[in-house]
Structure 1
Amino acid sequence: MSTSYLLEKALVGDRVEDDVVVTVEDGRFVDVLPRHTGDGDARPIRLAGLSLPGLANCHSHAFHRALRGHTQGSHTRGGLGSFWTWREQMYAVAERLTPETYYELARATYREMLAAGITAVGEFHYLHHQPDGTAYADPNEMGHALIAAARDAGIRIALLDTCYLASGIGKEPEGVQVRYSDGDADRWAERVDALKGDDSTVIGAAIHSVRAVPKDQIPTVSHQARGKPLHVHLSEQVAENEQCLAAHGCTPTELLEGAGALGEMTSAVHATHLTDHDLALLGGSQARACFCPTTERDLGDGVGPARALADHGARLTLGSDSHAVIDPFEEMRAVELDERLATQKRGHWTAIDLLHAATHEGHASLGFPDAGRIAVGQRADLVTLDLTSPRTAGTGAGPETAVFAAVAEDVRSVMVDGVLHETAATRHEIGHELQAAIEGAR
């Protein structure tokens, strides 16, 4: 059975068109037509506002949502702290989670994402085992909790099962990190082999970082991930670069390249502190760079070289990472606005560039290359923005409205694989669900 929708305004390709009729069947667009070519059959359902392709959140740690409001202004060690002091507070939450509380927290977080226009999430998952490091009866119980949470929230998921074997270069896991480790990359790969994907679930892989996966173990992860998404935290902190140089005589990017971990399906998350050679390696391999500006500024990481990466051939994607903010429109504009602050110049990225990063480029990086465009044969994902809100009224309804004016609260409805969700009416409900889930996790 097919259903037709009249999109008042829609981003089709690189242009916003008026009165576009799309027909959805079996979760895909089977027609995308100007209104005047319709044959006069059943009246389509009207979606008022600006409709965009579905947005992809390419880097998520669902359990970090419990930290919002608890860490941003907390004084530690005589000041506001650093990435490393924030990490200690994050570990405290990770230590307490059970499969049941993880499911509840992830489902509520994914519902918040859906209401913000996100139709697929890349979950960078390393919370694998029980608090003492022993496996659950189902070794993938925590991963299955995340898959179920995404399904029940109504979004797709790429479960980026993460290899995490060390607390630092040459150091054994300690404290809560024993929950993360499988012992070695071979045992990690054996566990991941048991995970199964489906039409709405991709099983990908991740190298937590060059700090957490020994150099000689990285090729095993790369081999396991062949043909699938492979994500990695890269050069998020200056200290990471210094430690890698001291231990291996090369940058983290150079180490990954030597271990065969760079390629078209690789996403370098953060990629903040890079050398010119790093830029050339990432661009030459056609890797993607996943920027998470709201987290990077929250943690004081720095402003990464997004434009330089793109100029070298890397492709930009976006994520909300720690969920200090879940607002893909803020992530988009922050790439441009942060670079303006760093360079004292404007005009690094167009609105269309940033929408491409947030839509089809992001979905492709998660293993959903058939999503992120309003086009025949693509997954039927739509995000419809209110054009009469105090933020969007009078903005002209072009691509710049979405990137430089709109916020998550302007999303009126979201369609995922042909299923339409009215988001405005559910935000209050989602808030209550988040409150209960966070109290249970903390």
Structure 2
Amino acid sequence: MTTTGATGSTTLHAGHAHLPDGLARDVRITIAGGRFTEVIPGAPAQDGDTRLPGVVFPGLANAHSHAFHRALRGRTHDDGGTFWTWRERMYAVAAHLEPDSYLALARATYAEMALAGITAVGEFHYLHHGPGGRRYMDPNAMGRALVRAAADAGVRLTLLDTCYLVGGLTAAGHTPLEGTQLRFGDGDASTWSLRVDDLRDHTDGGPAHLRVGAAIHSVRAVPRDQLRPVAAWARRTGRPLHLHLSEQPAENQACLDHHGLTPTGLLEAEGVLGPDLTAVHATHLTDDDIALLGAHHTWACFCPTTERDLADGIGPARALRDAGARLSLGSDQHAVVDLLEEARALEMHERLATLERGRLSPDALLAAATAHESIGWPDAGRIQVGARADLVAVRTDTVRTAGSDPAQLLLSATAADVDTVVVDGETVVAGGRHRLGDVGALLHEAITPLWQQPPRDEREDTRS
């Protein structure tokens, strides 16, 4: 497939395509300047049209990613363990990364996402500084590595720069940063915002398709008096705002013990809840929590493959949706990079929890998998004139999909069935192959050295 230039156009033909009104047959799609300029259902293919295989979906949105966690896949399952022991392995990887090695790892990780049909990613970025908290000459060197990685891999990036100020929360209060956590901290919300102010959006062209957003890591990592300033900065600058919420019962208990409030109740008291907020995980919620999140029409980002990998639990997706919240999806720690699987798991987890089928319809699952608005791209996630020209062609003739009803392909296909991916009018994946070549080799080259290095003594370099 050819790509479109600034003035040229190309026309594609899909036997089936998911449009805003539902699944349509024989759809001619014209792209120019990175946008859909014509979408005509019921139109036969014409000479010169590029035929897309299978069923065509809007581009998928990965609303929650920690790119460096990709190095943990297949490395955390010995001796069982818990979320908290898994976190120690995560810190061990973070301790070794510098801008160049982070670029290599993130480029390969984002390319893997593109192969899975992901056209935009929300990167929950808190690995800001050097070992021991040392500041790089460019305070955003690690963030800029992520920006370049996404551009190389051909996906849009929302850099959710994360405020992470303290080491944890107990009944007695917050604990200081220590060890690898020193790389995450900026001191306070004001200093954090000054650093983030140096980052700029590139929403049309430029070195990358980039939006800068904000995140509160969690009520564990940001003290109460710093929550409101982060949210205020995000809203003053029009940035999407994300945070981890109630991922673990221990987080809820610590918040109750210290503040007398659930994490959701604390966010409500500090004015953080709102329709621009995405609450990631939202696993262990009370009925009052669900009502609050629904009343504010927040986004709830579920990461089912991570939540089951870490034994976090099953979140109340249907209850949140019924209360008024909106759903999005993420691959989080990338135990699996497959947004089709994340969407399917949303329904399957509901089935396990309730013993009922059909809790979330295929259309509702597709809406969650294409929720670009959650990460600041409201003009993406639909095949419609004027929208960003993102699409994903999923084959219907593989051993997984053969015989499936095109309207139910989301319930049978996997990332391995993705054939073609177009992002802002540019072909990034064709015939199941990424433009960067062998992505498996890129991942191997980026990850293997991280596990061959001896542990770094975080105390060896603490100059600021």
> TM-score when scaled to structure 1?
0.96
2:433 and 2:384 map into 1 onto residues whose CA distance is 28
Give 1:46's aligned residue: 51
1:327 aligns with 2:308: no
Give 1:387's aligned residue: 396
Number of aligned residue pairs: 431
Give 2:231's aligned residue: 222
1:88 and 1:326 map into 2 onto residues whose CA distance is 22
Give 1:105's aligned residue: 105
Q: From the superposition, tell whether residues 297 and 14 of structure 1 become closer, same or farther in structure 2 (CA, over 3 Å).
A: farther
* Secondary structure class of the residue paired with 1:36: coil
* Secondary structure class of the residue paired with 2:89: helix
1:295 and 1:335 map into 2 onto residues whose CA distance is 12
Residue 27 of structure 1, CA deviation: 0.2
- Given that 1:102 and 1:441 are in contact with CA atoms closer than 8 Å, whether structure 2 keeps it comes out as no
1:211 aligns with 2:220: yes
Give 1:24's aligned residue: 31
Alignment of 1:303-318 (within 5 A): 303-318=314-329
Give 2:43's aligned residue: 36
4+ residue segments displaced more than 6 Å:
none
AA paired with 2:277? T
AA paired with 1:412? D
* Secondary structure class of the residue paired with 2:129: coil
Q: Deviation per CA, 1:85-143, whole angstroms, max 9, x where unpaired?
A: 00001000001100000000000000000000000000000000010102110000000
1:142 and 1:319 map into 2 onto residues whose CA distance is 21
Moved more, 170-179 or 426-435: 426-435
Give 1:57's aligned residue: 62
AA paired with 1:278? D
Give 1:372's aligned residue: 381
Give 2:116's aligned residue: 116
Q: Deviation per CA, 1:133-186, whole angstroms, max 9, x where unpaired?
A: 021100000000000000010000000000000111211101100000001110
1:415 aligns with 2:422: yes
* Secondary structure class of the residue paired with 1:334: helix
* Secondary structure class of the residue paired with 2:62: strand
Correspondent of 2:372 among 351, 357, 363 = 363
1:352 aligns with 2:357: no
Residue 37 of structure 1, CA deviation: 7.9
Give 1:242's aligned residue: 253
Give 1:126's aligned residue: 126
Moved more, 231-240 or 164-173: 164-173
2:350 and 2:366 map into 1 onto residues whose CA distance is 17
Residue 423 of structure 1, CA deviation: 5.0
2:395 and 2:21 map into 1 onto residues whose CA distance is 20
Q: Superposition RMSD on alpha carbons, in Å?
A: 1.2
Correspondent of 1:188 among 170, 174, 192 = 192
1:307 and 1:36 map into 2 onto residues whose CA distance is 37
- Given that 1:110 and 1:150 are in contact with CA atoms closer than 8 Å, whether structure 2 keeps it comes out as yes
1:354 and 1:425 map into 2 onto residues whose CA distance is 26
Give % identity. 56
Q: Deviation per CA, 1:383-440, whole angstroms, max 9, x where unpaired?
A: 0011100111111211x11x21000000001000001131523497010110001113
Residue 441 of structure 1, CA deviation: 3.0
Give 1:343's aligned residue: 354
Residue 261 of structure 1, CA deviation: 1.1
Q: Which runs of 5+ in 2 are unaligned?
A: 1-7, 204-208, 452-464
Q: Deviation per CA, 1:201-221, whole angstroms, max 9, x where unpaired?
A: 110000000000000001110
Give 2:291's aligned residue: 280
Residue 8 of structure 1, CA deviation: 1.6
- Given that 1:59 and 1:121 are in contact with CA atoms closer than 8 Å, whether structure 2 keeps it comes out as yes
Give 1:70's aligned residue: 75
2:335 and 2:433 map into 1 onto residues whose CA distance is 23
Q: Which runs of 5+ in 1 are unaligned?
A: none
- Given that 2:115 and 2:433 are in contact with CA atoms closer than 8 Å, whether structure 1 keeps it comes out as no
Correspondent of 1:263 among 245, 262, 274 = 274
Give 1:7's aligned residue: 14
- Given that 2:127 and 2:142 are in contact with CA atoms closer than 8 Å, whether structure 1 keeps it comes out as yes
- Given that 1:53 and 1:381 are in contact with CA atoms closer than 8 Å, whether structure 2 keeps it comes out as yes
1:158 and 1:247 map into 2 onto residues whose CA distance is 33
1:149 and 1:224 map into 2 onto residues whose CA distance is 26
2:286 and 2:154 map into 1 onto residues whose CA distance is 40
* Secondary structure class of the residue paired with 1:225: helix
Residue 35 of structure 1, CA deviation: 5.0
- Given that 1:101 and 1:440 are in contact with CA atoms closer than 8 Å, whether structure 2 keeps it comes out as no
1:96 and 1:144 map into 2 onto residues whose CA distance is 18
Q: From the superposition, tell whether residues 99 and 392 of structure 1 become closer, same or farther in structure 2 (CA, over 3 Å).
A: same
* Secondary structure class of the residue paired with 2:222: coil
Q: From the superposition, tell whether residues 117 and 37 of structure 1 become closer, same or farther in structure 2 (CA, over 3 Å).
A: closer
Give 2:137's aligned residue: 137
2:420 and 2:139 map into 1 onto residues whose CA distance is 37
Residue 81 of structure 1, CA deviation: 0.7
Alignment of 1:71-86 (within 5 A): 71=76, 73-75=77-79, 80-86=80-86
2:401 and 2:326 map into 1 onto residues whose CA distance is 29
* Secondary structure class of the residue paired with 1:120: strand
Give 2:149's aligned residue: 149
AA paired with 2:93? V
Give 2:93's aligned residue: 93
1:433 aligns with 2:442: yes
Residue 44 of structure 1, CA deviation: 1.2
2:449 and 2:378 map into 1 onto residues whose CA distance is 36
* Secondary structure class of the residue paired with 1:346: coil
Give 2:265's aligned residue: 254
1:297 and 1:346 map into 2 onto residues whose CA distance is 19
- Given that 1:14 and 1:352 are in contact with CA atoms closer than 8 Å, whether structure 2 keeps it comes out as no
AA paired with 1:318? L
2:431 and 2:266 map into 1 onto residues whose CA distance is 44
- Given that 2:27 and 2:44 are in contact with CA atoms closer than 8 Å, whether structure 1 keeps it comes out as no
